[in-house]
Structure formats: structure tokens, C-alpha cells
């Protein structure tokens, strides 16, 4: 004989009430303690298979999808729920009381630019007097606290815990980078976003999503499926997928450099007045308002990022005069970050690891009229193989000297990854291959002459290289400084 069964609906409220009273909820059966709730999350590997293990460790409640049964003789209470992932979000909100915190929650999604826009918004809102927390690719942080980020968007339970800790620390505004994986897996379940922002949609993560359509649909969930229904949308109308999203949410605030004329809502239109190695000067119009902005950030892609931050600021009630605070923002770690060195070489590291991101950063350097562009890059292992030759093509369009190397090979053979890239480099004249990333950087530095610029792409702010499941200390910027200083 098995224990009692509850359904979703009213009976699920009993478990929510227990969670609100402090009953722990686990999604990993190995972490279950006596009396806990175990939520069996469906997915590529259905957690229902771990229910016996959770029961053996003393789970008192099991939340699972319809059709799942407990083993004969189990005394735990089975709670059937049509969507266990959504149930986890509700339980997390009850446990951490995140539905009661008065936080302004901003979600940023897109293939490229999420981190830069998050940093820009953090700077803008903090200057305007808000106490800001950030959950993103580099770290999870708020004033007085910082934790290195293992994932762009953490697990559902950790998200709610982070938000609860931020609220306790006096944070009033949270900026979150929201990945397509987290939207597809409902890691943001139970959260109520006040503003959703789309930077762009270009090829990435097709190993997971399969098609660009599925990838876009995952990102669009931030606007259509995640509460609150009345949240503000901020959407890039220069991006084809952004225009598609605007057609579905026409009252959103659009932004970009080429106004499409199809927005029902207001549009922030920018113009690049100057783009040099010293930075950008932009002119903006929003309705009958006009203003300009200077920034030390360089490149057209950063013009887009600056517009995104300003559009979000306007949507949150800031005035154009307050947006000029962005002129004092100096940059993001690992995003076209200059590596200052004793030899005065122009060396930049950047996180670009998609074809579009590489195109953007290399086009930026090309527009600055360096004598030659040298590029060190590789592709990550266990990720979208289809983008590898496309990344090669992007590099080949701009670089005079290419050094193909390893990124984070993970479980793959670095030489096999490099073979996947090489068809995209077929038209390049100067290609060197060196799977050891440190040696590859050394080769590129040895090739540099006066007037050249070197881009080391793919890892940016990362301080490790992942090989065969092990993360070894490795920082592109640190390696450059060591090599220039003559350290082997």
C-alpha cells in the first residue's frame, strides 16, 4: 500500500504552505533529508527515475507529473502536478517569499550583448540612486557581495535564494541575464519580471535547441509566458527577430539605429555621430526629446548596447539628462577589454564565441584602421558544431593573420574541433594552428608589428580552461602580460 495522493489545484496549496513554513524542497535525490519535498523534474533525463532514491532518504512529499506512481509500500505523499517545473517555482517563491519582496526585476535575453547591457544598466541605475543587484555571466553581485557565476542563469531554487538575499541586503532593483536554456527549462519559474529586454538573436546553442526557430521561441518566452503580464518590453528593432517580436508586442519600447516605423509604442532611435578608437558619440531621439552621449566604449555593437540601456532606463522612468551617466562607464571585463602592457601593443580580449559576436568585434577593429588584424580564436567543445566553420568565416573576413587554437574543449579532442573550423578558414592566406592556447597567444604576439592589433577571442573574462572535465587556471589577459614580460 502506498501513501496518499494530492493533486495540483487546492491540494497543492498544502505543500506550498509547508514550504512557506520552512519545509525544504530538493530536486537532487542525493540531497534529500528526512521530511523533505522531492520535485521530480521532467526533461532529457526524467527525474522520476530517482524517486526511489529520494524515498530511501526520507522524502515525505514527492511532486511529479501525471502518470508517475510511487513504488509499492511507499508512505510518502504523492503530489501530481501537470508541470513540476512550474511547481518548483511556486514552492521556491513560497519558501523564500520572493513573491512578497518589492524588487524591480529586469530580465535581459539575447545571443550577444547581455552582459554589457547588464553592466551598463547597473551603472545607470546605481548612479540614479537605486541599490542594484546583478545575476549574470561574470558573477552574481550586489553592494558588498560577489559570487563567481557557474551559469549565466542559476537554478530555479538558487535564483529565488539569491533574490531573497538581495532583498534582505536592501537591494531594490535586480538585473538578470536570462539564457535561452533557463527559459526553456523554466529556471525562472515563480519570478515576476517588471521589464524584459531583447538584444538580438543570432546563431548559438543549436546543439540544444535544434533550430533557430526553437531558439527564438525560447527567448520569446521572457516576453509572453513569464509573469507579469503587464511587464514592459524593450526590443531591438534593428534585429530581424526583434522586429518579429515587436509585431507580437507592438506596445513595447523599440530601440535601434534604423527605425522600422512599425512600433505602436515609442521608439528610441540612435545615430552614430563618431566612432573612433577613443570611443563613441551618439545622438538620440525619443518622441520630441533629443540628446547626445559620449562613451569610451568602441564599436557599432556597443552603440546598440548603449541604446538598449537607455531604452530600459526610459522605460523605468529615467530622464534623458540622467542617461548621460553612461558617459562615465569605462567597460566590461572581457568585452573588447584592452590588455595594458609595457610594450604599448594593441591587444584586446573578448568573450565573442558566436559568428555574429566575432563579426561585430572584428568589424569594430577593422573600422579603426589598424595596419593589420591578428586573431587568436577557437571553438568550445560539446557545443553547437554547426557554428564552427561560420566562426572561421567571420574571422577570415577581417583578420590578416589567424591563429586557430583551443577554447574550452571540454570532453572533445581539440584537434577534432579545429578540423571542424578549418573549412571556414579556407580563403585565409595566413593561418597558423596551435592547439595549446598559451603557445598560440605567444605565436600571435611574436607576429605583431607596429600598427597591428591583436584580438584574442572566445574566453574574455574567464579565468580557466576546461579540458576533459577539469578546469585549469587560464586567463587570456594574464597570459599576454606574462608573455610580454618574458615569463614562460
pLDDT digits (tens, 9 = 90+) for 205-242: 667 767 988 989 989 999 987 766 678 999 999 999 99
Q: Give the DSSP per-residue string, 239-293.
A: SHHHHHHHHHSTTSEEEESS--S--SS-EEEEEEEEEETTEEEEEEEETTEEEEE
pLDDT at 276: 87
pLDDT at 424: 97
Going through 51-144 in order, the beta strands assigned E by DSSP cover 61-64, 77-80, 104-109, 132-135, 139-142
Per-residue pLDDT of 454-475, as tens digits, reads: 999 999 999 999 999 999 999 9
How does pLDDT run across 383-427, given as a tens digit for each residue?
Answer: 999 999 999 999 999 999 999 999 999 999 999 999 999 999 999
| Sign of the C-alpha dihedral computed for residues 81, 85, 86 and 91 taken in this order | positive
Task: Give percent above pLDDT 70 in the chain.
Answer: 95
Residue 414: the pLDDT is 97
For the segment 33-62, what is each residue's pLDDT rounded down to a tens digit?
A: 999 999 999 876 677 889 999 999 999 999
> What CATH topology corresponds to 337-484?
3.90.190
DSSP string, 319-357: -HHHHGGGGG----TTSSEE---TT--EEEEE---SHHH
Q: What's the DSSP call for residue 384?
A: -
Q: Given this model, what pLDDT does residue 480 score?
A: 97
Q: CA distances (Å), 443 to each of 85, 108, 161, 324, 446, in order?
A: 49, 38, 46, 42, 5
* pLDDT (0 to 100) of residue 1: 47
| pLDDT tens for each residue of 336-387 | 988 988 898 999 999 999 998 899 899 999 988 899 999 999 999 999 999 9
User: Mean pLDDT for the chain?
Assistant: 92
Identify the CATH number of the domain defined by range 100-328: 3.40.1190.10
State how beta strands 145-148 and 139-142 pair: antiparallel
Q: Which CATH architecture has domain 5-95?
A: 3-Layer(aba) Sandwich (3.40)
Q: What is the pTM of this model?
A: 0.84
Is residue 93 very low, low, confident or very high in pLDDT (cuts 50, 70, 90)?
very high
Strands of the 346-350 sheet, one edge to the other: 337-338, 346-350, 453-457, 373-377, 401-404, 431-433
With a cut of 50, say whether residue 254 has pLDDT above it.
Answer: yes
Domain boundaries, the chain: 5-95, 100-328, 337-484
Rounded Cα distance, 5 and 248, in Å: 41
Cell of 386: 554547426
Write down the pLDDT at residue 488: 66
Amino acid at each position: 500500500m502506498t501513501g496518499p495522493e494530492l493533486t495540483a489545484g487546492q491540494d497543492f496549496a498544502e505543500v506550498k504552505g509547508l514550504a512557506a513554513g520552512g519545509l525544504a524542497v530538493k530536486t537532487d535525490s542525493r540531497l534529500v533529508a528526512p521530511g523533505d519535498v522531492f520535485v521530480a523534474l521532467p526533461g532529457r533525463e526524467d527525474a522520476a527515475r530517482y524517486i526511489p532514491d529520494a524515498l530511501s532518504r526520507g522524502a515525505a512529499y514527492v511532486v511529479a507529473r501525471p502518470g508517475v506512481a510511487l513504488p509499492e509500500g511507499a508512505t510518502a505523499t504523492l503530489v501530481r502536478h501537470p508541470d513540476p517545473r512550474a511547481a518548483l517555482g511556486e514552492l521556491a517563491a513560497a519558501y523564500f517569499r520572493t513573491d512578497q519582496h518589492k524588487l524591480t526585476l529586469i530580465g535581459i535575453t539575447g545571443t550577444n550583448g547581455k552582459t554589457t547591457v547588464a553592466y551598463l544598466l547597473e551603472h545607470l541605475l546605481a548612479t540614479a540612486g537605486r541599490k542594484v543587484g546583478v545575476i549574470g555571466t561574470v558573477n552574481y553581485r550586489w553592494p558588498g557581495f560577489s559570487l563567481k557565476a557557474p551559469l549565466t542563469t542559476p537554478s530555479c531554487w538558487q535564483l529565488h535564494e539569491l533574490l531573497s538575499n538581495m532583498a534582505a541586503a536592501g537591494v531594490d532593483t535586480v538585473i538578470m541575464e536570462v539564457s535561452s536554456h533557463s527559459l526553456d527549462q523554466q529556471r525562472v519559474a515563480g519570478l515576476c519580471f517588471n521589464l524584459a529586454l531583447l538584444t538580438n538573436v543570432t546563431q548559438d546553442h543549436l546543439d540544444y535547441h535544434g533550430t533557430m526557430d526553437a531558439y527564438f521561441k525560447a527567448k520569446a518566452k521572457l516576453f509572453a509566458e513569464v509573469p507579469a503580464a503587464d511587464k514592459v518590453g524593450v526590443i531591438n528593432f534593428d534585429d530581424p527577430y526583434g522586429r518579429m517580436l515587436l509585431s507580437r508586442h507592438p506596445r513595447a519600447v523599440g530601440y535601434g539605429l534604423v527605425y522600422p516605423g512599425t512600433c505602436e509604442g515609442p521608439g528610441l532611435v540612435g545615430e552614430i555621430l563618431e566612432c573612433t578608437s577613443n570611443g563613441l558619440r551618439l545622438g538620440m531621439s525619443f518622441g520630441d526629446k533629443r540628446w547626445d552621449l559620449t562613451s569610451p566604449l568602441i564599436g557599432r555593437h556597443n552603440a546598440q548596447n548603449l541604446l538598449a540601456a537607455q531604452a530600459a532606463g526610459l522605460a523605468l522612468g529615467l530622464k534623458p539628462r540622467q542617461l548621460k551617466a553612461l558617459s562615465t562607464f569605462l567597460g566590461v571585463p572581457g568585452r573588447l577589454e584592452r590588455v595594458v602592457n609595457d610594450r604599448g601593443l594593441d591587444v584586446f580580449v573578448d568573450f565573442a564565441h558566436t559568428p555574429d559576436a566575432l563579426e561585430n568585434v572584428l568589424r569594430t577593429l577593422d573600422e579603426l584602421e589598424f595596419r593589420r588584424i591578428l586573431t587568436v580564436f577557437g571553438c568550445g567543445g560539446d557545443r553547437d558544431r554547426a557554428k564552427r566553420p561560420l566562426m572561421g568565416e567571420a574571422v577570415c573576413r577581417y583578420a590578416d593573420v589567424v591563429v586557430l587554437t583551443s577554447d574550452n574543449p571540454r570532453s572533445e579532442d581539440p584537434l577534432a574541433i579545429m578540423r571542424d573550423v578549418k573549412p571556414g578558414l579556407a580563403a585565409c592566406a595566413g593561418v597558423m594552428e596551435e592547439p595549446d592556447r598559451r603557445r598560440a597567444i605567444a605565436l600571435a604576439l611574436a607576429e605583431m608589428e607596429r600598427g597591428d592589433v591583436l584580438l584574442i577571442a572566445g574566453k574574455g573574462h574567464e579565468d580557466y580552461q576546461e579540458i576533459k572535465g577539469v578546469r585549469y587556471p587560464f586567463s587570456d589577459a594574464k597570459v599576454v602580460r606574462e608573455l610580454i614580460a618574458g615569463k614562460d
